[in-house]
Amino acid sequence: MKKTDVLDMGVNSDFVRRLDRTFEHEMMSDVARRLGIPHATVRNYYQGRLPAPEVLIKIANVTNVSLNWLLTGKGEMYGNQKPAIGLGRFLEDKITEIVDKRLAALGHPTVREFGSIDAFDIERAISRFDDPIRIMNEWHIFEGRECPSDYGIVFFRGWEKFTDDEKIAAVTDAKRVLDRSAQTKAC
């Protein structure tokens, strides 16, 4: 390893932290979906490889972060722009504001923030079961649904050789296909 490699690793680890913050600590598969690029490519970025210029521009457009901040850590994270807020988040914030005002008018303290319902923890399920069929069944049970018995195991071929990230991607992809299939059958 050359001395410059050590320097680049330090710079790239800072970039990785900023990238993770940019996507609010989302899973790599969610980041890949938002950017419309392969999961393996996103994994490379989280391992320290810098994205190509067109991907950096896509990240900036999707998240509204400043490219200067993303690459160097200098300046404001969002520059002159505020991050985009989704309609669901906007409505949630407005409803909370209205409820807090009404409670205050009635002399009640504001409602505490309890957060949201946790999502299924794929990583924990993989470390606990390390069996893709069992993980898929547990995920469906978590969602209060029955796991279909007619799905193929093509996603899990070579499971024993997969890294943890590859296992997460395989389970997530299989779940996405099953969900799409269920939606198609419902229509």
Residue predicted with more confidence, 50 or 111: 50
Q: Indicate the pLDDT class of residue 7, thresholds 50, 70 and 90.
A: very low
Instruction: Show me where the domains of the chain are located.
Output: 3-72, 88-115, 122-186
CATH number of this structure's domain 3-72: 1.10.260.40
Tokens, residue 62? 């999707």
- DSSP for the chain, please give it: --HHHHHHHHHHHHHHHHHHHHTTT--HHHHHHHHTS-HHHHHHHHTTPPPPHHHHHHHHHHH---HHHHHHS-S-SSTTSPPP--HHHHHHHHHHHHHHHHHHHTTPPPPPP---PPPP-HHHHHHHH--HHHHHHHHHHHTT-PPPS---SGGGTTGGG--HHHHHHHHHHHHHHHHHHHHHHH-
Distance from the first to the final alpha carbon of the chain: 57
| pLDDT > 70 fraction of the chain, expressed in percent and rounded | 76
pLDDT at 35: 92
pLDDT at 75: 83
Kindly report the pTM of this predicted structure: 0.42
Q: Indicate the pLDDT class of residue 87, thresholds 50, 70 and 90.
A: low
